[in-house]
Structure 1
């Protein structure tokens, strides 16, 4: 499993493909990993995830909370 804590681009550089390039590089350098990010994706970030996941098989999508978290471990 690969983990990206909080992908963020300074507003001055947003919409220039930097995050897409960074995530694409991670996927290329570590093929076969399932990638996860910090939870709590905001509705306003949905266009970002759609854009960076455009060429990703299965795209990026929000999933339910991991069972080990809901069991209180």
Structure 2
């Protein structure tokens, strides 16, 4: 139903998410927001970012989902401790 790629650096207290996908039947039902909240709950205290830019139609989602979240899911580069891939 929902998938997302993510990377963590506990040393830097940073997390990155990218390419969230919700099956069309389940879109706009809060599943993605709930999944991201669960991910944050599993890794408390991290600042959360995205690796890519936000597509125009996804900007409202990221703005709403990022409210009150450390890092606000703003675009951020990987730290030196984490490799891309």
Please give the range of the TM-score, normalised by the shorter of the 2 chains: 0.5 to 0.7
Q: In angstroms, what is the RMSD of aligned CA positions?
A: 2.3
Q: Which has the higher contact order (CA 8 A, sep 6+)?
A: 1
Q: Give 1 or 2 for the bigger CA radius of gyration.
A: 1
Check if 1:26 corresponds to 2:33: no
TM-score by length of 1: 0.67
How much has 1:61 moved relative to structure 2? 2.8
The structure that is strand-richer by fraction is: 2
> What are the within-5 Å matches in structure 2 for residues 1-73 of structure 1?
1-57=14-70, 59-62=72-75
| Paired residue total | 66
Q: Determine if contact 2:33/2:65 at 8 Å carries over to the other structure.
A: yes
Asked if 1 retains the 8 angstrom alpha-carbon contact of 2:40 and 2:46, the reply is yes
- C-alpha distance in 2 between matches for 1:19 and 1:28: 14
User: What whole-Å deviation, never above 9, does each CA across 1:19-66 have from its counterpart, x for those lacking one?
Assistant: 100110111110111223230311111111123223425633345x67
Partner of 1:71: none
- Identify if the C-alpha distance between structure 1 residues 57 and 3 changes in structure 2 by more than 3 Å, giving closer, same or farther: closer
Structure 2 unaligned segments of length 5 or more: list them. Answer: 1-13, 81-85
